[in-house]
Structure 1
Amino acid sequence: MLKHSLTLRISFFFSLAIIIVLTGIAFLINNAIEDHFVEQDKLVLEDKISTLKELYNETAEDNLFSIIDSMQRHAGLVILIKNEMQTLYSSEGVNFVQSNLGLKINIQNKQATTWEDGGNHYLSVNFILEKSGEFNRMLIGTLAININHHQQFLGVFNNILIKFTIFAGVVSALLGWLITRQGLLPLIRLSEQASIISMKDLSRRMPTKQLPIEIQSLSYTLNNMLERLEVAIERLSNFSSDIAHELRSPVNNLMTQTQVCLSKNRTSKEYVDILASNSEEYERLSRMITDMLFLAKSDNHHLMLTKKELKIEQEVQDLFDFYEALAEDKNITLVISGSAKIIADQLMLRRAFSNILSNAIRHSYENSKIHVSIFDLPNSISIDFENQGNTIDKKDLIHLFERFYRVDKSRTHGKHEGVGLGLAITRSIIDAHNATLSVCSENKLTTFSIKFIKDKLILK
C-alpha cells in the first residue's frame, strides 16, 4: 500500500523526519538536565571537601569525625576516610567498594563518578586530606551524595519525553496525511479529468486554473499532448476514409468491367480493350500503393538518401525537356533563371521538382508562363516555382500538403489526375533534406518555394 500511495509515502517520511528530530531534541534535553544535576551535586561536594580540608588543618581527627557525622545527616552525604593502612571512617550502610575503583586516577583528574549500592545511586568525588606541619600525615577520602531523587526525576522526565515523541509522531502522521492529501487534491482532480477522456471524445482538456505552478505546467503539457493526439487521430481517420474512397473507384471499375465482360460472349477486340482498361486501373492502384509505402517510410524515418552534388538548373532543365510536350498542349512557356549547386539525393529531388512542376502545368492558364527562379544566397538556396492560374483559397492552402487532399472536392479523375499524394510526397522529400516547403497564392499567381539551409547540406 505504501509503495503505491504517494500520500502515504509523503506522510510516512514526514512523520519519520518529525520523530527523528524530536528524538534528537529529547536526547539533547535529557543530557543537558543530567549534566546540570551533576554540576550542581559536584559543586556541593567540592564545597564540602573544601570545608573538610580546612577543618582537618584546624582540629583533631576525633573532632573532625564528629563534624562529619553532623554534616552528612543534614546534607544527605556519605563519606569514607582512610589512610594507607586502614579505614578510619565510613558511613553506615554504604559499600564504598564501587567508589574506590580507579581511585588514584580520579584523585589526579578530580573527576566525579557515579555508582550504585543497594538500589541507591551516588555521585562521589575522591579527595586527599593533608595536615600541614606533620610528616606523612595524609588521608584519602571519598565524599558522595545520594542522587536517587535526580534519577527518579530523569526517569519520569524520560517517560514523558518518550510518550510525547510517540504522540507527536502519531499526530504528525495524521496531519501529514491530511496536509498531503489536501496538497495533492489538484493532482487527484487532474487524474479524474483524465479518466473521462477517451478516443470517442478527445475534445476535453485538463483544468489549468487554480492549480499549483508545478501541476499547472503538467496540465499544460497534457493539453498540448491531447491537442497533438486529437489532430493525429483526426488525420488518421481522414486518411482511412480517403484511402477507402480512392481504392473504391478503381476496384469498382475493375469489378464492373469484368462483370460486363462476362455477361455475354465478346470479340477478341472487345476483350483486348477491356484488358487494356483494366491495366490502366491496375497501374493507378500500383502507383497509389507505391506512394503510400513511400510516405510510410518517410513517417518512420526510413528513407535512405544517396546524396551528391547537383546543379539545380540542370535538374530543372531536364524536367522541362520531359514536360515540354504537356506544356505545349496548353501553350505554356517554361522559363528558368538563376543557378546554384546543392548536395541532395538526385532521384528524390527530381521527383519533388516533378510533382510541383506537373501540378503547376495542370493548374496553369493556357498561354501563360511557368517561371522557376533559383536564388543562391549567402546562407541558403531558394527555388521558386511560379505559375499563373486560379488563386487557391486560404482555407485550402493550409491543407494543400495533406494526403489525399485536393481543392476539387468532386474527386473526379481526368487523364492526368493523381490521387492527392504528390504534394504530400514532395513535402516528405523536402523534410528529409532538412529543407522547408511553402506555398502562397494571390492575384492569380501561385508560388511553391523550397528553401535549403547551407549549413545543413551535408554529404553523408
Structure 2
Amino acid sequence: MRRFAPASLSLRLVALFGLLAMVILAALGTYLSHSLHVQLERRDDEELAGKCRSINHLVEHAASLEDILARRHLVLDTLTGHDQLLVRIARADGSTLLESHDPTRTPPGIDLSQVDIRAWDSIQSWKLGDLRARYVASKPVTRSGEQAVVLVVRTASDRMLLLAEYRSDVWWAAGVGALLAILMSYFLVRSGLRPLRTMAAQTRAVSANRLDTRLDLQAAPRELHEIVESFNEMLDRLHRSFQQLSQFSADLAHDVRTPLNNLMVQTQVALGKPRGIDEYQALLSSNIEEYERLSRMMESMLFLARAENAHVVLQWQELDVAQELTRIADYFEGIADEAQVRLVVQGAGRLQADATLLRRAVGNLVANAIRYTPADGVIRLQVDAAGDGMEISVSNPGAGIPAEQLERLFDRFYRADPSRSSAGGSSGLGLAIVRSIMMLHGGQASVTSSPGQLTVFSLRFPGRSAV
C-alpha cells in the first residue's frame, strides 16, 4: 500500500491558521447577526406593543363599538407608514368589527380570524404556511361597557429585511477575511520558520571533518532553545565518540603493529642464515608470546564489542564477596610475591552478580595495582555497604595518577604511563573491560587518585546487592 508523504510544516500551519480564521470570523459574524436580530426584534416588538396601546386608547374613548366604525379613519391613520402592520377589531362574540385589509399592504392568503390567540397583552409568534408573524391581542372596553378584541399583527419588518442583507454581507466578509488570513499566514509562516531554515543550513554544514560545528543558540527563537541545546549536546557526544573512535583506531593499529613487527623482524633475522635447533626453539617461544598477546587483545576486543551490544548474558547468583576476593588474592599471590607486594582482603557482604565477570573485573584491577605498586606496598581489596548496594574497592600506594588523566583511564588502549605500555603484556583494554562489566551489572566503575597518594578503584553495584 502506497504511503503518502506527510504535508510540510508550512502547509499545516497555513491550513490551521486558515481554519482558525474561518471559525473565528464565522462565530463572530453569527454572534453579531444574532445580537442585531435580538435588538431589532425587541424594537419591532416595542413598536407593535405601542400600536396596540394606541388602538386600545381609541377603543376605550369610543362611545360604543358602532362609534369605532364611524371613526374608522382614526384606526387606519394609526397604521400610516407601517405597511407590515395589520389590525383586526372584533366583538366579544368573535365577529369582525373592523379589519385593515388594504390589498396594497395585506399579503394574500392572510385571514386574521384564523389567529389562535394564546395569551393577552403579550407578544406572541404566529406561523401560517411560510409566513411568520408576531402579534399582540388585548380586550379593551368602550365607554358604554362593550368589550372588544383588538389584534395587531406584524407580518414583516423592514429591519428584518435589512438584517437578512446584513447577514449576507457578514458571510461574504467572513469568507474574504478568511481568504486574506490564509494568504497573510503563508507569508507570516515563512517568515516565522526562517530560523528553522537557518538551522537546516547549519546542520547541512556538519560533516565528519566538521563535527565541532554548533548551532547558534542566540539566533534561535526561545521556543527552539531546547531543540538547539539537545542538538548541540548530540553533536558534542558524536564529536567525543568520533575522537575516541579515531584514537581507538590509531591505538589499535599501534598495539597490533608492535607484535607483528616483532614477529616479522625476528623471523627475518632467523631466516638470514642457518640456525641451530636451540635458536629456532627460542624464536618459536618468543613468537608464541607475541601470538598470545595478540590473542588476548582480540579476545578483549571481542568481549567489549559483545558487551556494548548486550550480547553477554549474565549468570546471576548470590556471592560471598569476601570469599570471592580471597580467591582472587590467592590467584595473584605468586605474582604479588615476585613484585614484593602484599594483598589484604577486608570487609564482608553478599551480592547478586555474575561470578565470572566479577572475578575478571576485580582481577584486572588487582593486576594493574600489582604493576604500579612499589616494593613492600600493600594492596587492599575491600568490600563495604553503599546504600542499598555494595561497593568493592582496590587501593594501592604509588606515584598516583594526575587529575587530568583520571577521566580517560577507562578508555580503550589508554595508558596513564605510556612508557610502561608493554609491562606484563598490558594491552590497555583492562579498565575498559572493567567499565563494560559494571555497565552490564547496572553499576559503575570510578577511580580517585592524586600524585604520591593512594589510588582507589571502586566498583559500585546497584540495588540487587544485599549485605
TM-score (norm 1): 0.81
Q: Is the 8 A contact 2:442 2:462 kept in 1?
A: no
Could you list the runs of 5+ residues in structure 2 that have no partner in the other structure?
A: none
**What SS is found at the alignment partner of 1:104?**
coil
Whole-Å separation in 1 of the counterparts to 2:330 and 2:98 = 135
Q: Aligned partners of 1:161, 1:2: CA distance in 2, in Å?
A: 38
Cα offset, 1:334, TM superposition: 0.8
Alignment-derived partner of residue 70 in structure 1: 77
User: Which residue number corresponds to residue 49 of structure 2?
Assistant: 46
**Closer, same or farther: CA 79–413 of 1 in aligned 2, 3 Å:** same
Pairing 1:196-235 to 2, within 5 Å after superposition? 196-209=205-218, 211-235=220-244
State which of 171, 178, 182 in structure 2 corresponds to 1:173.
182
Distance 1:411 1:387 in 2: 18
- Determine helix, strand or coil for the equivalent of 1:401: coil
Residue from 222, 235, 241 that aligns with 2:250: 241
Q: CA offsets per residue over residues 15-47 of structure 1, 9 Å max, x none? A: 432332232222222223233333323333333
- Could you tell which deviates more after superposition, 95-104 or 7-16? 95-104
Task: Pick one of 399, 403, 406 that aligns with 1:397.
Answer: 406
Aligned residue among 421, 424, 438 for 2:429: 421
1:22 corresponds to 2:34: no
Q: Which of 103, 113, 119 is the equivalent residue of 2:115?
A: 103
- Alignment correspondent of 1:338: 346
Q: Deviation digits for residues 354-400 of structure 1, max 9, x if unmatched?
A: 222222222333x3223215253574655443434444344433322
**What code does the residue aligned with 2:342 have?**
L
CA distance, structure 2, for counterparts of residue 392 and residue 56 of structure 1: 118
Distance 1:285 1:378, change over 3 A: closer
1:389–1:446 contact (8 Å) kept in structure 2? yes
Describe the shift of the 1:441–1:352 C-alpha distance in structure 2 as closer, same or farther (beyond 3 A): same
- Residue 439 of structure 1 pairs with residue 447 of structure 2: yes
- Whole-angstrom distance in 1 between the partners of 2:402 and 2:196: 45
> Aligned with 1:226: secondary structure?
helix
* Match 2:137 to one of 101, 113, 127: 127
- 1:267, 1:447 → 2: CA distance? 48
Q: Is the 8 A contact 2:88 2:96 kept in 1?
A: no
1:340–1:381 CA contact under 8 A, matched in 2: no
Q: Is the 8 A contact 1:338 1:375 kept in 2?
A: yes
Counterpart Cα distance in 2 of 1:435 and 1:146: 87
Q: Confirm or deny: 8 A CA contact 2:342 2:376 kept in the other structure.
A: no
Q: 1:357 aligns with which of 349, 366, 391?
A: 366
Cα deviation, 1:84-118, whole Å, max 9, x if unaligned, reads: 5678542234245346496114566641447899x
Pick from 269, 292, 300 the counterpart of residue 291 of structure 1: 300
In structure 2, do the counterparts of structure 1 residues 105 and 452 end up closer, same or farther at CA, with 3 Å as the change threshold? same
Q: Evaluate the alpha carbon distance shift between residue 433 and residue 44 of structure 1 in structure 2; reply closer, same or farther with a 3 A threshold.
A: closer
Matched, 1:327 2:336: yes
What residue is the counterpart of 1:153 in the other structure?
162
Q: How many residues align structurally? A: 452
Partner of 1:6: 9
Cα distance, 1:447–1:434 mapped onto 2, change above 3 Å: farther
Secondary structure at the counterpart of residue 371 of structure 1: strand
CA distance in 1 between partners of 2:162 and 2:243 (Å): 78
Structure 1 residues not aligned, in runs of 5+? none
